[in-house]
């Protein structure tokens, strides 16, 4: 008799045979430029800790003070008894930082996309009329999932292509009740940047709502304030999605924009209505992080200096770094087995940089994704580059 779980065993075996099985390493120390991973001290090029704040004393002190004053958990959803004064203080501070009318704190960046999309578009229960989402082909999984959960029609436009966005709007918008354009700001696998000014102009021309996920742009672009500031569009985009788990170094998600939009989403967002509020320690650390980033713009400068130095070093080796425009540096290797072997060799020599293959990236586009941070010194980068060169020569990449 066939075991009902055999399909799992078969698929897991196939993943292992195809070298696509994810072996999860264990972090034995705080996120920083150097970490202890699986018991070994290694140079870290894996985390999204862009500004090196995940282990910063100012953030840790804020979290400790919040625990003493507020306890360890809010013990309720935001709409019942979980909204603490700390949450309100963070939302006001983040709105000020982003130059928008209002912001809303949720549990994660992934949750933020699920929280924001469904209230804005879907299907009208009374009339059956459907809305339409115009989504960049390479948008993050959290956008894709949020769009699917909304029940709206999803129309994909070609990656970073404002002309194709306009074609899709002209062809499809008249068939639906209302439209929403969604794009990532910085695309996390390739490090390229959405042409936000062009996409915004097209969407506004046709009365389509606008939304950008700035997860990898906050703390990086726009002098640290994100991609909307980078393009001078602050206060104009209808919805900005952010995460506090990358450059801010903590945890949580942000929905920011016009007051009416945030008020509307707050009433309808399911993560806000049905999941407990974020902890006092996280919230206080997030406030401290925003304050620290604004007071220390040199962190952003150091991040970019490090990224440009490392990228130039990889390119001098004759290795393709793809289309990146940001501190995300993909070391393009193509074959997933080669990328996995490359990552394993790096770790053997004391450098932590993970391989990414299908389905995270397209077939034939496997890579080592290097996440540069302000926590790295020039000596760290030189060591990293020397190790990449050593492995590349051993494996015949160069």
Q: What is the set of active-site residues?
A: 188, 216, 246
- CA torsion 165-166-171-176 (nearest 10°) is 80
DSSP 8-state code for residue 137: T
Kindly report the CA angle at 206 between 200 and 210, in degrees rounded to 5? 35
Structure tokens given for 359: 């389905």
Written in H, E and C, the secondary structure of the chain is CCCCCHHHHHHHHHHHHCCCCCCCCCECCCCCCEEEECCEEEEECCCCCCCCCCCCHHHHHHHHHHHHHHCCCCCCEHHHHHCCHHHHHHHHHHHHHHCCCEEEEECCHHHHHHHHHHHHCCECCCCCCECEEEEECCCCHHHHHHHHHHCCEEEEECCCCHHHHHHHHHHHHHHCCCEEEEEECECCCCCCECCHHHHHHHHHHCCCEEEEECCCCCCCCHHHCCHHHHCCCCCCCCEEEEECCCCCCCCCEEEEECHHHHHHHHHHCHHHHHCECCCHHHHHHHHHHHHHHHHCCHHHHHHHHHHHHHHHHHHHCCCCCCCCCCCEEEEEEECHHHHHHHHHHHHHCCEECCEECCCCCCCCCEEEEEECCCCCCHHHHHHHHHHHHHHHHHCCCC
Structure tokens given for 382: 């030189």
Angstrom distance (rounded) from CA 393 to CA 89: 53
Angstrom distance (rounded) from CA 368 to CA 386: 15
């Amino acid at each position: 008799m066939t075991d009902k779980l055999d399909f799992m065993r078969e698929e897991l075996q196939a993943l292992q045979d195809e070298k696509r099985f994810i072996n999860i390493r264990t972090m034995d120390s705080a996120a920083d430029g150097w970490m202890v991973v699986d018991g070994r001290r290694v140079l870290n090029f894996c985390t999204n800790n862009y500004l090196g704040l995940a282990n910063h004393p100012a953030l840790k002190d804020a979290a400790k003070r919040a625990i003493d004053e507020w306890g360890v958990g809010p013990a309720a959803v935001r709409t019942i008894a979980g909204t603490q004064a700390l949450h309100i203080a963070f939302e006001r501070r983040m709105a000020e930082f982003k130059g928008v009318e209002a912001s809303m704190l949720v549990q994660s960046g992934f949750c933020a996309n699920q929280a924001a999309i469904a209230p804005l578009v879907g299907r009208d229960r009374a009339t059956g009329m459907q809305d339409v989402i115009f989504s960049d082909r390479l948008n993050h999984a959290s956008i894709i999932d949020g769009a699917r959960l909304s029940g709206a029609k999803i129309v994909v436009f070609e990656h970073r292509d404002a002309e194709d966005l306009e074609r899709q709007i002209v062809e499809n918008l008249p068939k639906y009740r209302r439209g929403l354009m969604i794009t990532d700001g910085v695309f996390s696998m390739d490090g390229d940047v959405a042409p936000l000014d062009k996409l915004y102009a097209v969407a506004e021309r046709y009365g389509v709502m606008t939304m950008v996920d700035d997860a990898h742009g906050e703390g990086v672009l726009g002098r640290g304030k994100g991609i909307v500031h980078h393009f001078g569009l602050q206060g104009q985009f209808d919805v900005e999605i952010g995460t506090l788990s990358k450059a801010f170094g903590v945890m949580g998600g942000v929905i920011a924009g016009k007051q009416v939009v945030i008020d509307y989403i707050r009433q309808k967002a399911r993560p806000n209505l049905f999941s407990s509020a974020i902890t006092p320690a996280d919230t206080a650390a997030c406030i401290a992080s925003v304050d620290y980033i604004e007071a220390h713009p040199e962190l952003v400068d150091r991040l970019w200096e490090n990224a440009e130095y490392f990228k130039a070093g990889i390119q001098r080796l004759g290795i393709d770094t793809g289309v990146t425009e940001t501190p995300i540096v993909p070391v393009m290797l193509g074959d997933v087995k080669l990328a996995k072997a490359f990552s394993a060799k790096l770790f053997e020599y004391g450098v932590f940089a993970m391989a990414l293959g299908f389905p995270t990236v397209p077939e034939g586009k496997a890579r080592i994704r290097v996440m540069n941070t302000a926590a790295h010194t020039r000596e760290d980068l030189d060591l990293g580059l020397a190790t990449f060169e050593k492995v590349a020569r051993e494996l015949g990449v160069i």
